Chain A
Amino acid sequence: GDSVTQMEGPVTLSEEAFLTINCTYTATGYPSLFWYVQYPGEGLQLLLKATKADDKGSNKGFEATYRKETTSFHLEKGSVQVSDSAVYFCCTGTASKLTFGTGTRLQVTL
C-alpha cells in the first residue's frame, strides 16, 4: 500500500529562518500529494497540494514541488513566523483516501 515518510520533529527554528520539512512517499499509479497543517486546538487544514509530477503547490509562503524521480514532496518556506508553529502532515492519495505521514511539529521562537 501507499506510505509516507516525513522527518521526525520537533523542528525548532528562530523567526525568519528557512524551513525545510522532508517528505518521501511510495504509491502506486500517479497520486496527488498534499501538505496539511494543524494549528493548536484546531483541525487539520489543507495547506497546499500538487496533482502531477513537477507541479509546485504554494500557499502562505510555503512551497512544495512534486518530484516523481525522487518520490519527494519537501515543504519549504523562506522565512518562518511564530504563527507558523503547528504540526505539518505530508499525505498522498486522493480525496477519498489519504495516507498520512506521522506529522512534524514546528516550533518557531522569537
Chain B
Amino acid sequence: GAVVSQHPSWVICKSGTSVKIECRSLDFQATTMFWYRQFPKQSLMLMATSNEGSKATYEQGVEKDKFLINHASLTLSTLTVTSAHPEDSSFYICSARERTGDTGELFFGEGSRLTVL
C-alpha cells in the first residue's frame, strides 16, 4: 500500500524552543493531510486538516498559532510546535489521503514522539 513517512520519529527539546515535524507521502500525491495528537492510553485526536496550497482547518480547541501547519506541496506537510512547553509532549501522527473527495483511503505515518523538557 501507499507509504507515509514522518520525521523525526522522536525528538527531545527544551522548553521555549520550536520543533518541526515533517509528514511525507512517498509514492502518491496527497491533496489532504491530517494531523493527530495521541496522549498515553487515549485515542487519537484530530488537530487539523491540511489542504495543499491553502490554510489548514483546525479543530475546536487547537491553537493555530501554537501548532503551525504548512502543506506547501502535494507530498509534504509540516507541523511546527512553537514555543514548546512540557504539556505539548505527546505523540503526533499524520495521515494522508490520495484522492480528492471523501472516498480515498487514509494512510498513516509512523508517528513522532515529542518530549519537551
Contacts and interface: CB of A to CB of B under 8 A. Distances in A.
B11 interface: no
Interface of B: 1, 4, 6, 32, 41-44, 46, 49, 93, 95, 97, 102-111
Contact of B108 (A45, A94, A103): A45
B42 A44 contact: no
Given A43-B4, A46-B105, A95-B106, 20 more contacts: A4-B43, A41-B110, A42-B110, A43-B93, A43-B107, A43-B108, A44-B95, A45-B1, A45-B108, A94-B102, A95-B102, A95-B103, A95-B105, A96-B102, A97-B49, A98-B106, A99-B43, A102-B42, A102-B43, A103-B43
Interface residues of A, number: 20
Contact of A96 (B41, B49, B105, B107): B49
A98 B104 CA distance: 13
Contacts, number: 46
Interface of A: 4, 36, 38, 41-46, 89, 94-103
14 contacts: A4-B43, A42-B110, A43-B107, A43-B108, A43-B110, A44-B93, A95-B97, A95-B102, A95-B105, A95-B106, A98-B44, A98-B106, A99-B43, A100-B44
B108 A95 contact: no
Given A44-B93, A94-B102, A89 B44 contact: yes
Nearest to B46: A97
Contacts of A98: 44, 46, 106
Contacts of A46: 105-106
Contacts of A97: 46, 49
